[in-house]
Structure 1
């Protein structure tokens, strides 16, 4: 009898497939036709647990700024219930209704908000309105459709973690009284004052005016979730963060969710660089493959908000020194008696691919230092080169790329905003192995050896000032002033 069960299951699915073939039409016929009209929501002779995962996602879709009623969950439940007796015709109706609801919610979750603008450098990374057949095809390839739906595998893991963290944040902090706390007043553990009483009320604690252990713990919790040192002391920065009010943080969470919405799901092989936290993640085959620290741009030389395709690596790279640094750093050293050769720099006649060299003596360094004249200067490859041993290129007119760095000390800092806009990598060799399947190696000491990637990889430079953590969410300083609040 046990051996006959698979045959019975196959026969049941075959009957459902025949009914799907009779009922399906429009945009869904292409998907089902290519798979012999085989269902994806039916297990043996009943609707499987993947449907429960979809219903749960729909009912919680308010977290995505969507309306659950748009996907008619009651009708879906009725279709599922009607198919409970195993009738192939009813199963086919439920199957198609589930597919329609699924493709609708996937498309809506992926749709970018109009008020979040990312610069797209290549057609491959521009957001596209996915066809229902493509949405279903990708879902059907997942090892577990239930897990794919439950985890919203078409969305960035950063989005889903932030989405889930927002619910925890709202429960803990967003409903507290929006009460201003006095600034410039000394409040420390062990003290008593009217200001401390207001602080207790603002943090949702019982009445009183004592800075006791309960208040210390609550202040620490607030500090930890808002990017502050959790010392339990209500200093000026903590009071300023409290006085921004719950509305400020709700808006920040919503804005950062929209930024994260632009990122692809983990089944797309890609790299994400977050300039706010100075972190990098890389994904493939539905999982996070690795992460690392980076150094991002300063407030004055910001790492941009954009996406492109990493197409090649450059080994033994030059560093083309930005004109402002040539004026502010290089020219004064030359005027003070230094030499380009000793600094392993060279001056060039223009910005062409094969520029003619310029003698140091042929340049008016006073004019360069004063900003009246520009000259191209680049650093020669080598151990001290600012690019390190390799840079990963996604062609753009801003001169932005990912690169190795000899300045390891900067990576040990909590605030890593020191670059001129490019992204300095904690472990360029490890990322190179992920790109190429092996460590890319130069064939000689020759400079600027370009090695194409086996397959171009999307890279997304984003800016997340609210980031998911193990216990919830934390808010980071808006270093670039992009949050507008």
Structure 2
């Protein structure tokens, strides 16, 4: 189903997902074929083991990061560049709504006489609920619309109709493109809408008027992934928790508390976990048991659930990382969910009927088929000084028993120093030394003939043969790109036992490469019936896909689960701050200088 039943196609381009005003790249048509990350098929590698059952696998992150900083409060002394311009340009939305109405005989789209039509009432209800999906609703001028509706003059009815048309166009572009793009003039947003989603505003208005179920039509404008709906439910839940007083966030730092220990901080921790709904079972004595200062079995289980939901090692020990998360406020969690919702709005809508999605800060890969996650596994990603880039592409081929062609930077910083220290290192590890820039030379040169203390990496390239010492392991999954990153196996399997897995030079290491390769061999190649084991050996073997498999490297730090539960992971590359600030900067107050006169 296309967005709002519009003709056209979605276009995903080559910009990084990390950019607030950009998206990723992959040609394709609109697709409602997205996924339910909270539902796992039987092939899932890491099903949730705790009662929260949040998302596939176990979201994990480093417990050493600091808690999220709160957003700065708006201040008259702090300019919000782009907002005034963007809001004045929003008058273009009103002019567009008026032009559309004039071209259709002046017939109101949102009014029936002096009152709002059912379509208009449905729009107002959706605008009022915008904050429940993390969108600032002040730009829609709801207050002015309601004041006009309270009057009964024809002029007021016409003005209300125009304002509702304006609000609809702004709300639609917020959902389709992201609120953070309000910083752009409205005309530029319309150009992006046409280029990225194949949608023009006249079609938006026409389909809004023709839709037999306007509420259902509005729903098609939101990101079609169930994650968006789950995060909306989570946002509503955390907003309610905040209204109800939240939870204690002043838990004192101190020594780690282990199961069976007593500590005077534990009664307050019980109240904190209970406030977030993390009481195990229906034990009425959870908050006030006979010995509230004892880390007993019920409290240990609640702590483990909390740790699993926040990506910590679920060992039941209350250490510094657990305390940091316990002291994070409901307002900070609300902001984190809003950022995640905005990231889904910024992502391409057409992810692909079958696609790979790597959520970098969650250290998790999902293989989604239709609306089902059929395979999930842990991954390791780039460390902070070698960030895994965020973009969309298509998987083109797999290479079994791959060579590792060592990048110059790694050769200089890591490999050559080991050769200088031990002259047998390269030979022992299966490296071949090849002259750089010489085509067709495959025999190598003698390690002993190279002056490694000179800038050897500029004159020679290092290639490691397939085998147990090769860090790419048994297979790599290739989607050629400007960043020279890819998915691959690893010879360091212990990394997947760690909760913090930002360890690579930018590539993504996968926990179960054979399972992924077998799936691709069966469904995306002409090697049906073959498995990864059939391609093992001492020499590289390339298997090309017979159709591209979309892959998306994304960055989402809040992952929705059933019942409004949310898993939160660390912002390992500190990328959420830009989105938080963009949402803050594009939060509008009513546009006072754009009073419309009905003509």
Normalised by the length of structure 1, the TM-score is 0.64
1:107 alignment partner, one of 173, 176, 198: 173
2:137 alignment partner, one of 48, 63, 67: 67
Deviation string 1:251-299 (CA, Å, 9 cap, x unpaired) is 33333333333223366444321111121234465x2453422433242
1:227 alignment partner, one of 307, 311, 329: 311
2:405 alignment partner, one of 300, 309, 320: 320
Does residue 165 in structure 1 map to residue 234 in structure 2? yes
> Are the equivalent residues in 2 in contact too, given 1:155–1:261 (CA < 8 A)?
no
2:568 alignment partner, one of 475, 478, 485: 475
Does residue 210 in structure 1 map to residue 296 in structure 2? no
2:453 matched residue in structure 1: 367
**Superposed, which structure 2 residues align to 1:56-135 within 5 Å?**
57-63=126-132, 64-67=134-137, 70=140, 104-109=170-175, 110-111=177-178, 113=180, 130-132=199-201
1:7 matched residue in structure 2: none
Q: Relative contact order (C-alpha < 8 Å, sep 6+): which is higher?
A: 2
> Are the equivalent residues in 1 in contact too, given 2:241–2:330 (CA < 8 A)?
no
Unaligned segments of structure 1, at least 5 residues: 1-23, 33-46, 80-95, 117-122
Superposition CA RMSD, Å: 5.8
1:428 alignment partner, one of 516, 527, 531: 516
Distance 1:447 1:299, change over 3 A: closer
- Secondary structure, aligned partner of 2:344: helix
Distance 1:53 1:420, change over 3 A: farther
CA drift at 1:62: 0.9
- Secondary structure, aligned partner of 2:180: coil
- Secondary structure, aligned partner of 1:264: coil
CA drift at 1:313: 1.4
> Are the equivalent residues in 2 in contact too, given 1:302–1:421 (CA < 8 A)?
yes
Distance 1:194 1:422, change over 3 A: closer
CA drift at 1:303: 4.0
**Superposed, which structure 2 residues align to 1:253-264 within 5 Å?**
253-264=337-348
- Cα distance in 2 for partners of 1:447, 1:138 equals 54
- Cα distance in 1 for partners of 2:261, 2:145 equals 60
> Are the equivalent residues in 2 in contact too, given 1:188–1:211 (CA < 8 A)?
no
CA drift at 1:196: 4.6
Distance 1:300 1:258, change over 3 A: same
Distance 1:343 1:372, change over 3 A: closer
2:481 alignment partner, one of 387, 395, 399: 395
Distance 1:209 1:200, change over 3 A: farther
Distance 1:209 1:372, change over 3 A: same
Tell me the matched-pair count. Answer: 431
Distance 1:192 1:428, change over 3 A: closer
- Cα distance in 2 for partners of 1:226, 1:277 equals 10
Normalised by the length of structure 2, the TM-score is 0.54
> Are the equivalent residues in 1 in contact too, given 2:359–2:555 (CA < 8 A)?
yes
1:271 matched residue in structure 2: 356
1:306 matched residue in structure 2: 390
Distance 1:355 1:54, change over 3 A: farther
Does residue 337 in structure 1 map to residue 407 in structure 2? no
